[in-house]
Amino acid sequence: MRSRPSHPAHRLSSPSVQTDETAHVSPRTASVSRNVSRKIKSSITGTRAPPRHRHRTRQQNPGPMATAGEDSAAELLLRAAALVPLERYALAALLLASAFLYRFLELHVLGDLLRGLRGGRVALTYHPDSQVYHRVAAKCRSLHGRYLATPWLASPHLQTLFLGIWGRPPSVTYRRQLYTVRDGGTIALDWLLASDSEAADGSSCDGTISSDDSTPIVVVVPGLTSDSTAAYVKHLVFSMASNGWNVVVGNHRGLGGISITSDCFYNGGWTEDIREVVNYLHQKYPEAPLFTVGTSLGANILVKYLGEEGGSTPVAGAASICSPWDLLVTSRFISRKLVQRCYDKALAIGLKGYAKLHQPVLSRLANWEAITSSRSTREFDHHATCVVAKYETVDTFYRKCSCANYIGNVSVPLLCISALDDPLCTREAIPWDECRANKNIVLATTPNGGHLGFFQGLTAGRLWWVEPVSEFFSALHDSPCMHRQKTQEHGLQSPLESSIDKGPYVNLMEDGMVAAVTNEDTNIHESLDKHKQIVSEMEGSDGRVNVQQNGITSVSQDESHSAVKNTSGTEDNEPSAQGPVGSQEQREELSTDKIRDAIAPVKKSINQLIRSQGRSVWWLAYIAVVTSWPLLGTLGFFLYRKKFRNSSPAKRLLRG
C-alpha cells in the first residue's frame, strides 16, 4: 500500500517529530566529518580506506558520539585556522621575531623614545675631595650631559659590529717611525702631528718635531689585535690632532705590518713596551707633556703600567676607554651566553690570524697544532700566551695581569669611560670602590655605548668618548693638577718584573771591562763612598777620581785598599792636617758616631714599642729585667765563676 504523505501543517504541529529530526542531525554531521578525515588520511598515507557499510546497528559501533565529538573538535579547529588569512600569520611571526631580536640584540629604541630622545645620563664616580674632579672633570661639559646613541644603532651589538666592519673613520695619513726595544723587538710608532692637520688646510708642514717643542703629545695604546688602522683609533687621532696636539700610536709587537724580531710577544699584562716608549719620548722631547690613552685591552695595559710606576712615570694625564679591568671575570663573562660566545670565537679567530703572521717564531716557542685548533680566547691563552710568557695556568695569567689590582697606586689624573651594556667588558668587573677611593681617578659610565662604539648623530659620524677625552686633557693641561714626574724612583715593583726591567747601569772597572751594577753592588759602593769620605776627613788624603756613569758612582779596588791603610794608621809619610790632637779628637768623634749608629736602631725599636704598648720606658725596662734576670744571672754565674771564687768576699763566704 502506498503511504499517504503527511500534511505540512501536521508536520509543523508535531513537535515530537521535529525533535527527533533535530536529534539525528549531529550523528550525520559526525559521520560526514569522519569520512572527510578518513579521506584526508588515505590521501596522506597513499592507502585507500575500506568501504563502509551503510546499515549498521548501534551494537556494532559502540560509542559513536564520543569519537564524533573528539574528531569534530579537531576538525573545527583546523577549519577555524584555515579561515584566518595568511597575512595575519605573517604579521604574528614578524612580531614574535621582532620581540626575540629586541631582547637578543638588547635594543633600547623604546627606552630612548620614552626618554624623549634625550639619551642616558653620564654617571660619575670619584672621591669627594678629588681635585682632579673639581678642577678638571667639572669643566668637561660632555661628562655632565647625556649620551644618545644613533637610532639605527641603538644596540650594543650593532654598535660593536658596525665599528668593527666599517666605523666611518676619517682620512688619516701617518708618519711611521720604527723603534727597537732593549730585547730586540720592533715597535711601529705612527705619528700624526698637529701640523699635518694644518697642512691639510693648505699650510706648509715639514713633518718634524724639535726637541724643545712644548706641544703636548698623546700616546695611544690600541686594543687586542688592533693597530693604527682601526676605525676608533683614527677617530681619536684625528680629533686630537685637529685640536693642535701631536699624536703617536704605539702599535703592539707584530702588528701594523711589522714582523716579530724577538721571542717576546705582547699580552694583556705586557707593560714593557709602553714603558720604553714613554721614557723614550720623554727623553727626546722633555718640554712636551705626555698624555696616554688606552682602549680595550690597551686600557688594561695602560692602567697596569700607571699602577706599577706610581709617581715616577713621566705621564701627565691618562684616559682608559672600555677597559676589561678584571681579565678573569671578563673571560668567564664572554663564555656565558650565546651572543658572548660569538664574540669569544671572533676574538679567537683574530688571535689565530695574528699567530699565523708570525708562525715561524711562534711554532718554535709553543705547540702550533694546539694553537691553530683553539676555539676560544682561553684556549689560545693556554696554548700560546702562557707558554711564551711562562705562566703556570690561564687563571694565574688573568689574575696577575688584571689592572684592577693596580688602581690604588695610580698617581696620574686618570679618566675612565665604560658602557654598562658593553658586550665584551662586563660591568661586573668595574672596580667601583677602588676608583672612588683614589683621588686621581674619575670614572664615567653610560647606560649604552657598546664596546668602543658610542656612535652619535643620525649618520653615525662621531664617537662620543673622543669628546670627553679631548676636553679632559685640555682642562688638565691648563690646570695645576697635571702630574709631574718624581725625581726619586718609586719602590713598587711589578709582579711581572723581569731582569730586563732593571736599568742598563754599567760600572767601568780598572781593567776596562764593563759590568752590570745591581742593587747589591750599589749598596756596597755607597758604603765604600761613605767610608772613604770619613777616611779623607780624618787623614786629609787625596783619593783617586771616581768613575761615574748613568748616575752610579763606583770606587776602584785600590781606593778601598788605600782607605783601609789610612784608617789603620800605618802610613807615616802623609802629614796630618791638625796634628796628633786633631786626629785623636776626630777618632773620638768617629767612635761616638759609630756608637750612635749602633744605638739608633735600638732607640727606634724602643720608641715603636712604647707607642704600640702605651707604657713608659722605665716600666718596660723593669719588666725586661725581672723576666730576664734568672737566665742572665745563671749565665753570668757560669761565665764569671772563677773570678767570683778568687774574690775576697767569696773566700770569706766559703770559709764561713
User: What's the average model confidence in pLDDT over 477-496?
Assistant: 67
What percentage of the chain has pLDDT greater than the value 70? 62
- At a CB cut-off of 8 Å and minimum separation 6, what does 380 contact? 348, 351, 352, 355, 371, 374
Question: Does 470 map to a domain?
Answer: yes
User: What's the average model confidence in pLDDT over 240-251?
Assistant: 97
Contact 149, 455 (CB under 8 A): yes
Alpha-carbon distances, residue 62 vs 28, 58, 66, 347 (angstroms): 16, 6, 9, 69
* pLDDT bracket for residue 420 (50, 70, 90): very high
Question: Does 334 map to a domain?
Answer: no
Alpha-carbon distances, residue 461 vs 170, 453, 515, 605 (angstroms): 9, 11, 57, 66
Task: Give the chain's mean pLDDT.
Answer: 78
Give dist(CA 536, CA 563) in Å, integer. 8
DSSP string across 371-434: HHT--SHHHHIIIIIHHHHT-S-HHHHHHHH-GGGGGGG--S-EEEEEETT-SSS-GGG--HHH
User: What's the average model confidence in pLDDT over 276-285?
Assistant: 97
Question: Does 9 map to a domain?
Answer: no
* pLDDT bracket for residue 590 (50, 70, 90): low
| Of 457 and 597, the one with more pLDDT | 457
- How much is the pLDDT for 570? 38
Q: Is 255 helix (H, G, I), strand (E, B) or coil?
A: coil
- How much is the pLDDT for 197? 75
Question: Which stretches of 61-137 are assigned E, i.e. beta strand?
Answer: 120-121, 123-125
Closest by Cα among 44, 41, 36, 49 to 75: 36
Domain that holds residue 412: 123-199+212-326+402-478
The set of long-range contacts for 348-354, using a CB threshold of 8 Å and a minimum separation of 24, is 348/374, 348/375, 348/376, 348/377, 348/379, 348/380, 350/224, 350/225, 351/224, 351/225, 351/377, 351/380, 351/384, 352/380, 353/225, 354/225, 354/254, 354/255
* pLDDT bracket for residue 652 (50, 70, 90): low
Residue 287 main-chain phi, psi, to 5 deg = -90, -10
* pLDDT bracket for residue 208 (50, 70, 90): confident
| Of 415 and 487, the one with more pLDDT | 415
Does the pLDDT at position 379 exceed 50?
yes
Give pLDDT tens digits for 54-70. Answer: 444 444 454 544 444 45
* pLDDT bracket for residue 382 (50, 70, 90): very high
Does the pLDDT at position 231 exceed 70?
yes
CATH code, 173: 3.40.50.1820
pTM: predicted TM-score of the whole model, two decimal places? 0.66
Number of structural domains in the chain: 1
| Of 645 and 488, the one with more pLDDT | 645
DSSP state of 575: P
* pLDDT bracket for residue 74 (50, 70, 90): confident
The set of cell numbers assigned to 262 is 724577538
Question: Does 67 map to a domain?
Answer: no
Residue ranges of the alpha helices (H) in 402-512? 432-437, 466-477
Question: Does 190 map to a domain?
Answer: yes
Lowest mean per-residue pLDDT among 310-324, 339-353, 567-581: 567-581
- How much is the pLDDT for 311? 94
- How much is the pLDDT for 585? 60
Question: Does 579 map to a domain?
Answer: no
Burial level of 586, CB count in 10 A (0-12/13-18/19+)?
Answer: middle
- Placement of cell 633600547 in the chain: 108
Closest by Cα among 177, 268, 262, 158 to 219: 177
Give pLDDT tens digits for 518-541. Answer: 343 444 344 435 444 433 443 443
Give dist(CA 170, CA 192) in Å, integer. 13
Closest by Cα among 133, 140, 245, 239 to 471: 140
- At a CB cut-off of 8 Å and minimum separation 6, what does 428 contact? 329, 333
Question: Does 489 map to a domain?
Answer: no
Question: Does 19 map to a domain?
Answer: no
